Amino acid sequence: MYCDDIPAPLAVNYNGPMADPRFPATRLRRLRYHPAVRRLLRNTQLDPAKLILPLFARPGKGVRQPINSMPGHAQLSVDFIAEEARQAAKFGLGGIILFGIPAEKDPLGRDSYSDSGIVQQAVKAAKDAAPELLVITDVCFCEYTDHGHCGVIADCGGRKDVDNDATLELLAKQALSHARAGADLVAPSGMMDGMVGAIRAALDGGGFSHVPIMSYAAKYASSFYGPFREAAASAPQFGDRRSYQMDGANIREAMREIALDIEEGADMIMVKPAMPYLDVIAAARERFDVPIAAYQVSGEYAMIEAAARNNWSDRDRVIMESLTSIRRAGASVILTYYAKDAARLLG
């Protein structure tokens, strides 16, 4: 076809939203021109009830220790945890998840499974303050051990590493202690093989068969956890966690990990971090018919805050865009340090 044979384009009025109805592109533009229309037709909806707020409990009273790498967040004494629980309920959040920083650490992280431990105290305070609020506990050891790893340390072929099997019994004790304190849901995060099965058996045997498990099934060995290590005082004292957390290059392995945890009794699974692993969330949503959580981790939060404080980005719009992307990828629930901010923005 020669150029002279190409039909002349339809005359289109580009000066307003009511362009020529015969021009196909305008059909999409008509659905964008008004804010109310855009809200009406959104495929992905954000809701405060889908957001979980992470909190860090520490000993003392009236203590609010700011976390330098996570401006706006702090380690909180139990009385402040209770206040945060009341606020979370007021905002209509889906719940809170508690991490503990004990007064004393030891090789086995004994405070984590003590009925008088810091998280157990925080659970009771939160449930007293907001009985209807979902209270979740992180089940792990890195915050409680003096070596900063997620389990019992043993000599493994001439090097120190976590003893997976020896750690399972302690994880089960920890989860059972959290349930006795009043936790509504437990979330094992140590990436130990068999952890879900061990915890499920302990909960069922202890009279807590109703307590669900949200497993950190696909937890990657990520550089995005940096600020969390300050927040939870959990930096490893030697080596790193790559022998038990996942390699960031692998997605098929994540699907296997998720499948195994579901087989062992996980009621929900989690992908962590969130934004660098949206493809993993999407793949899990396509393959598994269980609720999927995603953790927008400390490094994601810190980057957004740093950019906003340097006037490099619009903080509120980036918060909402990032959370929407995680939901759009397939996450049913998002753990985010922006839970309260998002609830305010959603109004």
Which of 317, 309, 320 lies closest to 343, judged by CA? 320
What are the two backbone dihedrals, phi and then psi, of residue 53, each rounded to the nearest 5 degrees?
-100, 120
What SS3 class is residue 324? helix
Rounded CA gap, 290 and 254, in Å?
15
Burial class, 62, CB count within 10 angstroms (exposed 0-12 / middle 13-18 / buried 19+): exposed
Burial class, 10, CB count within 10 angstroms (exposed 0-12 / middle 13-18 / buried 19+): exposed
What SS3 class is residue 28? helix
251, 279 in Cβ contact below 8 A? yes
Active site residue 173: no
Which of 44, 46, 112, 125 lies closest to 80, judged by CA? 125
Rounded CA gap, 235 and 230, in Å?
7
> Which pair of structure tokens corresponds to residue 119?
């998280």
Sign of CA dihedral 324, 301, 335, 80: negative
207, HSE (Cβ side, Cα atoms, 13 Å): 3
Rounded CA gap, 240 and 83, in Å?
35
What SS3 class is residue 273? coil
Which of 307, 303, 302, 277 lies closest to 292, judged by CA? 277
Over the range 277-294, which residues count as b (16 or more CB within 10 Å of their CB) and which as e?
bbebbbbbbeebebebbb
| Catalytic option among 124, 127, 219, 340 | 219
Cis, peptide link before residue 273, omega less than 30° from 0: yes
| Catalytic option among 105, 127, 173, 272 | 272
Active site residue 272: yes
> Which pair of structure tokens corresponds to residue 37?
């229309």
Q: Would you name the residues annotated as active-site residues?
A: 219, 272
